[in-house]
A = this chain, B = another copy of it.
Amino acid sequence: MNATFTSAGQKLSGPSGIQELMEDLGQALSGDPAMRMLGGGNPAAVPAVQAIWRERISEMAANGELDRALGNYDPPGGNPRFRELFADFLRRECGWKVTAKNVVVMPGGQTAFFYLFTLLAGRRKTGAKKILLPIVPEYIGYANQGLDEDAFIAMKPLIDEMEGNVFKYRIDFDRLKITPDIAAICLSCPTNPSGNVVDATDLQRLRSLAEEHGIPLMLDQAYGRPFPGAIYVDWSPVWDEHMIISLSLSKLGLPGTRTSVIVADEKYTLALANMNAVVALANGNLGQQIVSPLLKGDSLIQLSNTVIRPFYEAKSLSASAHLHDCLRGRADYALHASEGAFFLSLWVKNLPIPASELYQRLKKRKVLVVPGHYFFFGLEEDWIHRHQCIRITYSQSDQAVNEGLEIIADEIAQVTAKG
């Protein structure tokens, strides 16, 4: 049978980094209990958090909320009462000047960005436009989005090296130019994979550039503030009508509900809701319904600050320390400053094999990581650095993380010695 696909279909349905990552993650999770899962972005099973979701579901089953959440279609932009509650929450906790019209519910952050990139990147009457990534490495899941080829143009970062085998990426503002073919600026904060957090000064510079050029600044806060709080430096969430903010319930421990929220000017929230009707009919209701009561007081902020942040921050500190202990003196390496998210970003400076081969070797030794080259997309030229990095997730059990880090260090020491 003739199975040729359209150009857009071919782009979206071919092998991709995110598909390989999710396939690896999901297959290992369902099929290979011995695999050490340091690959995906799966949140940790935090018992105190799981208990809250279980209690909410039981309450919903008892009081009729569950019947309504399972059995009805809500409007394509989300449940109207949830949107009101969420806007109240943002006004109260973040001081943002938003109403329910600035809030739209989406079936996960990934889908929200697919919609946004489809709206903004690609062919239009006045020519094609692209999304500017002011800094890479950036989230692997964006790379194959956008319907046209080359949806992104990315800037190589500056690298600050610090004492103790630590480095930090910084935006190279001197080279950052907003040309007329740029439709939007986009970055994740904390950054997946590096754990980088753009500081207030640099964020303000990006906001000014966006406003000056009449384009939106998209900020993916899936790991950050106001929730789930996996951010370990001072950082205040800001919003204005030039910003498109993405928040997600996934890293609160609810990825299985596929629920995210976009906060933006009404022209974007309206377009997203309309698009969601055509592409998905409606959102899943469970995530919205589970979280609703926690939006009313400050309990979601409390949960983020007193449970989730300390949990991941402790894991970050312990994983970083263990990896330094295992690698120091055995390879020329640096770890990215761990300012947020669930990942260690490891740079092996003279790695004699590409990171993709290191990934394969580690997988054979039952350690799943993500090779760095996936995260450096949109660059105009190849860069040796992208083949020298791997992303290591530390959200899973301490035992799996520690064993995994020891195997990673051992493998790197071996290949570096041979090289």
Contacts and interface: CB of A to CB of B under 8 A. Distances in A.
Given A57-B61, A74-B26, A281-B110, A265 B4 contact: no
A128 to B, nearest CB: 8
A283 B197 CA distance: 29
Contact of A9 (B6, B69, B120): B120
Contact of A26 (B2, B7, B66, B282): B282
A256 interface: yes
A371 interface: no
Nearest to A68: B256
Contacts of A31: 80
Interface string A196-225: 000000000000000000111000000000
Given A2-B214, A119-B6, A286-B257, A15 B111 contact: no
Question: In which size bucket is the chain A interface?
Answer: 35 or more
A374 interface: no
Interface string A274-285: 110111111111
B67 A50 contact: yes
A165 interface: no
Copies in the complex: 2
A400 B265 CA distance: 38
A3 interface: yes
A70 interface: yes
A285 B26 CA distance: 12
Interface of A is mostly: helix
A241 interface: yes
Contacts of A27: 75, 80
A79 B274 contact: no
Contacts of A9: 118-120, 122, 124, 271, 275
A145 B19 CA distance: 24
A372 interface: no
Contacts of A215: 1-2
A272 B42 contact: no
Interface of A: 1-10, 12-16, 18-19, 22-23, 25-27, 29-31, 40-43, 45, 50, 53-54, 57-58, 61, 66-76, 79-81, 107-111, 114-115, 118-126, 129, 141, 144-145, 147, 214-216, 241-242, 253-258, 265, 267-268, 270-275, 277-286
List 8 A-B pairs, minimum CB-CB distance, nearest first.
Answer: A26-B75, A9-B119, A19-B277, A256-B285, A13-B271, A110-B281, A6-B122, A2-B214
Given A6-B121, A50-B70, 17 more contacts: A1-B242, A2-B215, A5-B120, A6-B119, A9-B122, A12-B118, A12-B275, A19-B277, A23-B76, A41-B73, A42-B72, A50-B71, A53-B67, A57-B61, A71-B254, A111-B281, A114-B278
